[in-house]
């Protein structure tokens, strides 16, 4: 008798709770994960038949949803999504049901098998997704421009140029015109650096994170007090070069130029810092008072 009584109480209490408007964050999450904001790009058959384009695959894989995600670098949706991967969602085109895409195609990722909305998708093969889905839908797999050259990246600049082609200067929609797309807008990380990141850096992520932090601190201190300025300049250029190769732009190219100039001017760069005393001391200590031809010290120069 106890359980039904407890259940009755729960029902009574629940019916007393205010209906409650969803909070702004709840409405936002619902819109983000459930609303199709653009028309469906593909019919459902595109998803079902995409495997036919996979090299060496003769029949539809068992556990197709997982195989599909694995092949294209997509992740399970951490919200109800009709078994579609995160980044796809049910939609429609002119009242015909289909599959629409959403921001999580590129902005949904996973760490150790757990999916996160908003995490950059570092495994996505966006070129293959669009080529295969279009072909499996009975259309040409040819894309208007290269979407990506390397898994885990997308040509954000080209996408912007392409999409702005649909807009007037005041952003009103218009028929598409080519604003000057060309194939050398590539901003991808080169494949050899992706290899380096994935096989060397990623398995030792905490070691590299520590090295970068120590390196940055050492460079900063060296430049501040003018100690081993040339080496600090070289290290700054090297570190910033790695950041650029990994796909970041920001101020890093400017810092590479400044670092390179400092390294080139190493003999004079530290003159107003500790190098004024440190470099001559190094020479005295390790070259035992035999200055090379043309060698000067602060006192003689």
Question: Is residue 129 within 8 Å of residue 46, measured between CB atoms?
Answer: no
Closer to ligand HEC by CB, 79 or 278: give it. Answer: 79
Q: What is the largest CA-CA distance in the chain?
A: 103
| Phi–psi pair at 114, nearest 5 degrees | -100, 125
Q: Kindly state the smallest distance separating residue 37's Cβ from ligand HEC, in Å.
A: 7
Burial annotation 103-112 (CB, 10 A radius, 16+ → b, else e): ebbbbbbbee
Number of residues forming the site for ligand HEC (CB under 6 A)? 8
Q: Which two tokens stand for residue 292?
A: 């090379």
Sole binder of ligand HEC in the list 154, 158, 189, 240 (CB under 6 A): 154
Q: Residue 285: count other Cβ atoms within 10 Å of its Cβ.
A: 9
Q: Kindly state the smallest distance separating residue 156's Cβ from ligand HEC, in Å.
A: 4
Closer to ligand HEC by CB, 122 or 242: give it. Answer: 122
Closer to ligand HEC by CB, 135 or 246: give it. Answer: 246
Residue 264 neighbours by CB under 8 Å, 6+ apart: 233
| Neighbour-count burial of 255, counting CB atoms closer than 10 A to its CB (0-12 exposed, 13-18 middle, 19+ buried) | middle
Contact pattern from residue 79 through residue 108 relative to ligand HEC, giving x for each residue in contact according to CB under 6 A and a dash for the rest = ------------------------x-xxx-
Q: Is 126 in the site for ligand HEC (CB under 6 A)?
A: yes
Q: Kindly state the smallest distance separating residue 181's Cβ from ligand HEC, in Å.
A: 15
271 vs 298: CA distance, rounded Å: 9
Q: Kindly state the smallest distance separating residue 124's Cβ from ligand HEC, in Å.
A: 7
Q: Kindly state the smallest distance separating residue 102's Cβ from ligand HEC, in Å.
A: 6
Contact pattern from residue 251 through residue 290 relative to ligand HEC, giving x for each residue in contact according to CB under 6 A and a dash for the rest = ----------------------------------------
Q: Kindly state the smallest distance separating residue 120's Cβ from ligand HEC, in Å.
A: 7
Question: Is residue 121 within 8 Å of residue 109, measured between CB atoms?
Answer: yes
Q: Which two tokens stand for residue 72?
A: 């294209």
Closer to ligand HEC by CB, 109 or 230: give it. Answer: 109
Helix (H) or strand (E) holding 114: strand 114-117
Contact pattern from residue 9 through residue 48 relative to ligand HEC, giving x for each residue in contact according to CB under 6 A and a dash for the rest = ----------------------------------------
Q: Kindly state the smallest distance separating residue 112's Cβ from ligand HEC, in Å.
A: 23
Question: Is residue 95 within 8 Å of residue 88, measured between CB atoms?
Answer: no
**By the criterion CB under 6 A, which residues form the site for ligand HEC?**
103, 105-107, 126, 154, 156, 159
């Amino acid at each position: 008798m106890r359980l039904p009584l407890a259940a009755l109480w729960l029902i009574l209490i629940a019916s007393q709770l205010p209906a409650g408007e969803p909070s702004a964050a709840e409405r936002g999450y619902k819109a983000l994960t459930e609303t199709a904001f653009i028309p469906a790009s593909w019919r459902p058959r595109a998803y079902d038949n995409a495997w036919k384009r996979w090299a060496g695959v003769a029949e539809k894989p068992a556990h197709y949803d997982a195989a599909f995600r694995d092949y294209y670098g997509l992740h399970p949706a951490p919200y109800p999504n009709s078994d579609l991967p995160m980044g796809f969602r049910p939609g429609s085109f002119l009242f015909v049901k289909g599959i629409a895409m959403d921001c999580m195609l590129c902005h949904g990722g996973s760490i150790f098998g757990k999916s996160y909305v908003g995490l950059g998708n570092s495994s996505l093969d966006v070129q293959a997704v669009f080529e295969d889905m279009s072909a499996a839908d009975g259309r040409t797999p040819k894309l208007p421009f290269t979407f990506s050259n390397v898994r885990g990246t997308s040509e954000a600049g080209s996408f912007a140029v392409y999409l702005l082609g649909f807009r007037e200067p005041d952003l009103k929609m218009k028929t598409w015109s080519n604003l000057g797309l060309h194939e050398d807008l590539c901003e991808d990380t080169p494949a050899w650096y992706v290899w380096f990141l994935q096989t060397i850096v990623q398995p030792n992520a905490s070691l590299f994170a520590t090295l970068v932090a120590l390196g940055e601190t050492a460079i900063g201190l060296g430049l501040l007090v003018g100690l081993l300025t040339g080496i600090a300049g070289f290290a700054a250029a090297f570190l910033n070069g790695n950041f650029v190769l990994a796909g970041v732009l920001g101020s890093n190219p400017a810092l590479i130029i400044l670092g390179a100039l400092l390294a080139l001017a190493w003999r004079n760069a530290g003159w107003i810092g500790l190098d004024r005393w440190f470099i001559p001391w190094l020479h005295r200590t390790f070259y035992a008072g035999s200055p090379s031809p043309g060698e000067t010290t602060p006192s003689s120069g």
